[in-house]
Amino acid sequence: MSSKITAPRGTQDLIPPHSAQWQALEQRIHALARRFGYGEVRTPLFEATELFVRGVGETTDIVEKEMYTFRDKGDRSMTLRPEWTAPVVRALLEHQLLAQGPQRLYYIGPIFRYERPQKGRYRQSHQFGVECTGYREPEADVEVISLAWELVRSYGISDAALKINSIGDAQCRPRYREALLEHFRPNVSQLSPEAQQRVERNPLRLLDSKEERDAPFVASAPRFEEFLCEPCREHFTALKADLDMLEIPYAVDPRIVRGLDYYTRTVFEITSNALGAQSAVCGGGRYDDLIASLGGPDVPAVGFALGMERFLMIVEAAGSEKPSARSGVQAIALGAQARATLLPIVAELRRLAEVPAFMDYEERKLLAHLKIADRNGARFALIVGEQELAAGEAVLRDLESRTDRHVPLGSPRVVAAALVETGL
C-alpha cells in the first residue's frame, strides 16, 4: 500500500465555503486600495536570495532561519518570497518607477517562511500590504496607517489595537543603541539564549522578545522617545497629532521595534487579543534607507504588511461577519422532458443573472432535489414536473419564505429574463 500524500506541514488547502470568505476579503482589499489610489503590484514567487539578505537584513529571523532557499538547475541561489517589500522595491527600481515621482502600490499574495507551524503561524501564508514611496512627511505614514485601520474598521473588529513607536534614524539610533547595550550588558547572563546572542549585534531586537526571562529587563530598558533627535521627534509628534485629528485610536508602545533592519522613525503594529501568542495581525513603518541600500536613489518609503490568515481569525472571533445569505436558483427537473426544458433556461440564467444557477442531473424525488438546493444555499427552486409541463408553467419556490409563484414557460431567454426581472 502506498503511503498517503498530504499537504506539506504548515500549508493549507482553501476550499468552499471558506474560500468565499477569502474572496470577499480580497475584493474588499482591492476596493479599499483603489479608494486610496494604490495600484496592484505582483512579483515572482521566487527571487535571487541576495535580494532578501540585503533587503531584509542578516540579523532578522527571516534571513537567519526562515527562508526557503534552493539552488536551481543553473546553480543560482533562489528563495521563495518570505516578504514583499524587498521584491516590490526591486520591481520599482527595475522599471524605473521612482524617477516618475511618488508611487503607491499594494499587493496580495503568498509568503513562505520555514517556521514551527502553530495557530496563526504557517509555512505558506498570505499578506496584503502597501508601499508608499517618495514622501518624507508624516502624512504619508498616516495615509498607510489609516488604510490598514480602515480595513479593520470595515469589518467592525472592536478588539483590535493600533500601537505606534518611533525608532529614530541614523542620527539618533546609535546613541539609543549604546544606551540599550549599557542597560543589557550587566544582565546578559540572565537573558534568554536568543537574547544573549542578539545583544551585541542588534540590541533593539531584544525589545520585542517574547521570552519571559527577558521581560523584566525589557520593561526597565530606556525608551527611544527620550533619545530621538529633533527632526525625528517632530515627525513623531506630527504623526500622533494627525492620527488624533483623523480619530484613529492608538497607543505608543516603546516595545514595538519590528524585526526588519531597514525601518526608520515610524513603526506600528495592529494587534488583537483573539490571536493569543501570535498577537500581531499587521506590522509596518517607515524605511527611508531601504531603497538606497538596494542600490536605488535616496527615496523614502512607508508601508505595512497584514497577515490575511490572522486577519480572518480575528474577523471570525469578532463574529461581525454575517452568515452568507441564500442566493441563486436551483433548477429542479422531474423527468427527462422537464430536464430538456430546464437545461436551456439554466444556460440563459447563467448569462443574465448575477446569482448562481444550480442544476442536478440525476433522477430524484422532489424532496431529494430540495435537499440539494439547501446544500447549495440556493434562495429559490425552479421546479418543473409533468404537471407543470402540461400547464405550461414552472413553480418558483422561495426557499426562505416557503411561498410559490407560477412562471409561464416559453422561450428560454424570455423565461430567464422574466425571472431576473422579478428578482432572484
- Residues at the contact surface with ligand ATP, assessed by CB under 6 A: 83, 113, 115, 120-122, 125, 127, 259, 278, 280-283, 305, 307, 309-310
Angle between helices 18-35 and 138-154 (to 10 degrees): 150
CB of 328 to ligand ATP, least distance (A): 33
Which is nearest to 384 in space by CA: 345, 424, 328?
345
What is the DSSP secondary structure assignment for residue 4, as one 8-state letter? P
Task: Return the biggest CA–CA distance within the chain.
Answer: 94
C-alpha span between 338 and 44 (Å, rounded)? 50
- 132 vs 394, which CB is nearer to ligand ATP? 132
C-alpha span between 413 and 375 (Å, rounded)? 27
CB of 200 to ligand ATP, least distance (A): 21
CB of 343 to ligand ATP, least distance (A): 45
CB of 294 to ligand ATP, least distance (A): 18
- 307 vs 377, which CB is nearer to ligand ATP? 307
C-alpha span between 271 and 268 (Å, rounded)? 10
- 134 vs 283, which CB is nearer to ligand ATP? 283
With H, G, I as helix, E, B as strand and everything else as coil, classify residue 112.
strand
CB of 216 to ligand ATP, least distance (A): 21
C-alpha span between 147 and 264 (Å, rounded)? 20
C-alpha span between 412 and 421 (Å, rounded)? 14
What is the DSSP secondary structure assignment for residue 5, as one 8-state letter? P
CB of 259 to ligand ATP, least distance (A): 5
- 153 vs 350, which CB is nearer to ligand ATP? 153
CB of 194 to ligand ATP, least distance (A): 13
CB of 423 to ligand ATP, least distance (A): 41
CB nearest ligand ATP: which residue? 307
- 104 vs 310, which CB is nearer to ligand ATP? 310
With H, G, I as helix, E, B as strand and everything else as coil, classify residue 314.
helix
CA 62 to chain centre: 19
- 47 vs 83, which CB is nearer to ligand ATP? 83
**Residues 329 and 357: beta-carbon distance below 8 Å:** yes
- 81 vs 397, which CB is nearer to ligand ATP? 81
Quote the cell numbers at residue 412.
428560454
- 83 vs 348, which CB is nearer to ligand ATP? 83
- 259 vs 377, which CB is nearer to ligand ATP? 259
CB of 66 to ligand ATP, least distance (A): 8
What sections of 209-254 are H helices per DSSP? 215-219, 230-245
**Residues 234 and 248: beta-carbon distance below 8 Å:** no
* Residue 206 to residues 200, 221, 266, 299, Cα–Cα distance (Å): 10, 10, 18, 29
Side-chain-side CA neighbours of 308 within 13 Å: the count stands at 23
Backbone angles phi, psi at 106, to 5 degrees: -135, 160
Determine whether 158 is exposed, middle or buried from the number of CB atoms within 10 Å of its CB (0-12, 13-18, 19+): exposed
CB of 51 to ligand ATP, least distance (A): 16
- 157 vs 394, which CB is nearer to ligand ATP? 157
